[in-house]
């Protein structure tokens, strides 16, 4: 069974020969440059000049040599966005840190002894948040700029010809996240109550930009891509960042516009939705919105216990991720701890298909390569279906 057959079996809630594996097809399922270089060294390979999928998060695209060696079934194609478009060329040296001003008007800083960039300044955090800020003054990026997709179609075809499933994701973070980035966290939490009309206009504008982006990308490569990713982080370790009813009133209608557009334009595509944390209360909403795949399965968050998730939502959602805990087990556990965690999660999530193995989130810099390989070895051992 080749990778395309294997993945599509899983997406159709059928059991393939083994649990499919994703590493780095997206900036939610990836590996940081530090962890990647350490893994290469551990495997006896020379250091490699990083190919960035997300400079802000320090996520890289592994070489084909690594991806083939690890039997990775998915490949990502990455349009140019504020997270990977000439970021290094735009950096300013500020002494103890680097500073980057992106196409959205966000200011990011990267401490020279740090591991990633952090957003430090939002463009509308001190404005009076008038309608003119949204529709007049603010210089929104050109979401449908064809330069974003240079070489993307060719790369997608190359991956398809090697029997890999092709994934791509959107212009920017989700509507709630981008609301926070444009207005600042505190303002974003209050806008719906203090400025409901303008809050809705801002969220609507962000959705419009997403639609503009997807319209251009799907024109360019919609027929050679298999899965697209959108998302928004609504969950915390315990509950949700906003009340589910708040989500339903302000963000869900606009996200439905985005996903409806994608489905109508390219009905063959599967839609992945990413949200960290406990998002159990809104899983029925995501299903209603047309989401096919949930990423990740945040197995240590309240309400996200794999057994009950599989029982309650396993017929409607494919679970992509949740193979191993990335908060404690992968960075801090022993190789045997890692293998035990992988085994537990596979035994729950794999039966009946509908599961693609990946970590709960990106593999961070402090994860030892021994644990990455222990994870992979456990997947090889426990990820085979009984008839295979």
Q: pLDDT tens for residues 102-113?
A: 999 999 999 998
Which pLDDT band, with edges at 50, 70 and 90, does 133 fall under? confident
Say if residue 387's pLDDT is above 70: no
Read off the tokens for 382.
Answer: 């426990």
Task: Reply yes or no on whether the pLDDT at 345 is more than 60.
Answer: yes
Which class does domain 3-44+62-81+129-382 fall in?
A: alpha beta
Domain boundaries, the chain: 3-44+62-81+129-382
What band does 132 get if pLDDT is binned at 50, 70 and 90? Answer: confident
Mean pLDDT (whole number) for 266-284: 98
The pLDDT tens digits for 307-317 are 999 999 999 99
Q: What is the pLDDT of residue 260?
A: 98
Residue 127 has pLDDT above 80, yes or no: no
**Mean per-residue pLDDT over the chain, rounded:** 96
pLDDT for position 388: 52
pLDDT at residue 136, rounded to an integer = 79
> Could you give the dihedral angle defined by the CA atoms of residues 104, 91, 367 and 19, in that order, rounded to the nearest 10 degrees?
50
Tell me the per-residue pLDDT of 240-252, one tens digit each, with 9 for 90 and over.
Answer: 999 999 999 999 9
296: buried, middle or exposed (CB in 10 Å: 19+, 13-18, 0-12)? buried
Is the link from the previous residue into 339 a cis peptide, with omega within 30 of 0? no
pLDDT at 126: 82
Q: Measure the N-to-C terminal CA separation of the chain; round to a whole number of Å.
A: 10
Measured CA angle at 364 (ends 143, 41), to 5 deg: 115
> What is the average pLDDT across 148-161?
98
pTM, two decimal places: 0.96
pLDDT at 80 over 80: yes
User: For the residues 336-361, what does the mean pLDDT come to?
Assistant: 98
- Under a CB-based contact definition with an 8 Å cutoff, are residues 376 and 359 in contact? no
């Amino acid at each position: 069974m080749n990778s395309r057959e294997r993945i599509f079996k899983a997406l159709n809630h059928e059991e393939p020969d083994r649990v499919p594996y994703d590493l780095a097809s997206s900036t939610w399922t990836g590996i940081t440059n530090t962890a990647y270089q350490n893994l290469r060294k551990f495997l006896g390979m020379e250091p490699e000049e990083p190919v960035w999928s997300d400079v802000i998060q320090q996520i890289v695209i592994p070489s084909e040599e690594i991806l083939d060696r690890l039997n990775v079934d998915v490949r990502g194609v990455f349009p140019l966005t504020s997270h990977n478009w000439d970021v290094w060329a735009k950096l300013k040296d500020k002494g103890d840190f680097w500073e980057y001003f992106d196409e959205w008007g966000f200011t990011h800083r990267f401490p020279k002894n740090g591991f990633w960039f952090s957003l430090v300044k939002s463009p509308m955090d001190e404005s009076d948040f008038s309608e003119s800020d949204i529709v007049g003054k603010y210089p929104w990026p050109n979401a449908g700029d064809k330069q974003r997709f240079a070489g993307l179609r060719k790369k997608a075809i190359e991956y398809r010809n090697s029997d890999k499933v092709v994934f791509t994701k959107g212009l920017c973070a989700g509507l709630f996240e981008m609301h926070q980035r444009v207005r600042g966290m505190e303002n974003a939490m209050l806008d719906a109550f203090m400025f409901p009309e303008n809050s809705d206009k801002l969220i609507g504008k962000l959705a419009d930009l997403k639609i503009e982006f997807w319209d251009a990308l799907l024109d360019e490569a919609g027929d050679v891509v298999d899965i697209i990713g959108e998302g928004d982080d609504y969950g915390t370790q315990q509950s949700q960042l906003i009340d589910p009813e708040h989500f339903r009133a302000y963000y869900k209608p606009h996200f439905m516009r985005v996903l409806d557009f994608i489905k109508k334009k390219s009905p063959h595509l599967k839609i992945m939705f990413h949200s960290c944390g406990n998002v159990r209360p809104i899983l029925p909403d995501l299903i209603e919105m047309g989401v096919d795949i949930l990423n990740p399965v945040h197995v240590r968050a309240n309400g996200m216990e794999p057994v009950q998730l599989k029982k309650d939502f396993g017929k409607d959602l494919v679970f992509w991720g949740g193979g191993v805990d990335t908060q404690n087990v992968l960075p801090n556990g022993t190789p045997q701890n890692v293998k035990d965690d992988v085994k537990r999660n596979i035994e729950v999530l794999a039966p009946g298909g509908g599961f693609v193995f990946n970590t709960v989130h990106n593999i961070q810099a402090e994860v030892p390569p021994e644990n990455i390989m222990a994870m992979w070895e456990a997947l090889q051992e426990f990820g085979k279906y009984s008839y295979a």
